[in-house]
Structure 1
Amino acid sequence: MVVDQNSPIIFAHGVNKTYAGGFLALKNIHLEIARGEIFALLGPNGAGKTTLISIICGIVNASSGTITVDGQDIVKDFRAARAAIGLVPQELHTDAFETVWATVNFSRGLFGKAPNAPYLEKVLRDLTLWDKRDAKVMTLSGGMKRRVLIAKALAHEPLILFLDEPSAGVDVELRHDMWRMVRELRAQGTTIILTTHYIEEAEDMADRIGVINKGELIVVEDKEVLMRKLGKKQLTLTLRHPINSLPAGLESWSLILAEGGHTVDYRYNTQEDETGIPELLRTLGEHGIDFKDLRSSESSLEDIFVSLIQQSRGEAA
């Protein structure tokens, strides 16, 4: 089968999942993920992140809808679709009585890949596991077991790597090694989909962001576009002399007097024209308000995420 390299590597259309008892875990999910991108899926606990990943990976069956992976239907062409995917799950499920080398080598053979000792050695070295290759998995620390899961997911050289909360409970060294490897994989053309509670990781790593809440995708957007659309900026002026109140005539500006009259905050959307700031400063000067320092700040992705979730909950209510 010839696959159009310009087509989405993952395409989900009208995906729903209802569990026994009538719980609707996913509601009409439509999602396209481009080849070679890093896509971050954010959402609170129970939002549906793991359910969606599990359906794409063939672990859980959707109640309705269709999903293709690299052009292969995940139901009709399960083997071909699954072979394109490497999955690092949240839970530490490993072959406890096997050695590190044996379990990683087995994962490669499971997908019909020919033996490739040099490649597996590189994966283990990149994850600082080479010295542990003959150790049984059951003897390793939690952080080392997490590294083994990553190595198993990469053993068959997948086109797509799913990282489901990969940073949960791991040390700083592993997190650093993991994100370095993710960047290298992305540079080689691997598509990365990650879920994380560490919002700063998504902000640093992702090309696009999807936010899911109560089983519904409430936004999917390029990270930079999302920051421009929903981010807020604030200019804080530290006054040379404190004031008790803002003079009349400044009502048209979004100003807030703070810190006992020692600072003035100007809040505005990142979309808005910032050329208005010099005019604001001139206007303050005309009203006798002089400042000795100014600093600017911008909403983080975490601020935007919290705002979107609160907005979604408000609309549901």
Structure 2
Amino acid sequence: MQASMCMTTLPSSSHSLLKPSHNPLISHTLSSFSSSSSSRRKASYLTTRALLSTSKELVLREFHERKALKIISGLQNFDKENVASVVTAADKGGATHVDIACDPELVKLATSLTSLPVCVSSVDPAAFPAAVEAGAMMVEIGNYDSFYERGVIFSPEQILNLTKETKRILPSVTLSVTVPHTLSLPDQVKLAELLEQEGVDLIQTEGGKCSNPSKSGILGLIEKATPTLAAAYSISRAVKIPVMCSSGLSAVTAPMAITAGAAGVGVGSVINKLNDVVAMIAEVKSISNSLTSAERRAATEEQSVKV
């Protein structure tokens, strides 16, 4: 069933070393328009652009270094206790980013618990500004799993329209867009190319929901990750912007994503469905360590080839 209306309204209620309760960059932008002096507006605009550019560099740094690890609490997860546990686990476990539902109060909660860049996910561009004002440093059109459970599927045209609207509202904020696994691989690649043309900063893949492993153990984990790994491989060779491999990944398969061409990995349910924050931290550490070990092996092999 196609989504009858892509502008679904979700509930709405930085890498910031000082952990602010709001985003001074957006506040600065909004206040600049109220100034009566055109010279002051121009200076304010240039200052804001410079700050946003620096912010984007910080948010994307680990992706450019191909070692990003984003922990996802869920697009429609508004349980403050669970979100707090996920954010804490990301912070303590060695993640580089955290992704939460697009809610200003959740953003304030997250930024009070971590200095990691906070990303908010939604399919309603109008919901993003309030979350960015609250401290979010990246916005994500995606994490569609909860919609698939209701039989809602987003078309390429809908995703492109959502992207254009988001870029219109927040032209300088880091934007990530998920390419749906419901499309064929060639169509996923085509959409990714169009999104790159629209100025998207990051492409995210998915596929865990459509994968039904026939095996248990390690074989099952590899089967589970196959769709998103295939998407990451195909898309990363078609676009120049970073690709984040997400959905269905684990400590076993996260390094495979980097090898396939991804600049980072996103992990959700394997973390947010755990009932204990200590267990969450342990799982994040396991995935982080697997990525670090893979990076060291790759560096060693590269050095051996040079010698």
**TM-score normalized by the length of structure 1:** 0.37
Q: Which has the higher helix share?
A: 2
For the pair shown, which has the larger CA radius of gyration, 1 or 2?
1
Q: Which has the higher strand share?
A: 1
**TM-score normalized by the length of structure 2:** 0.38
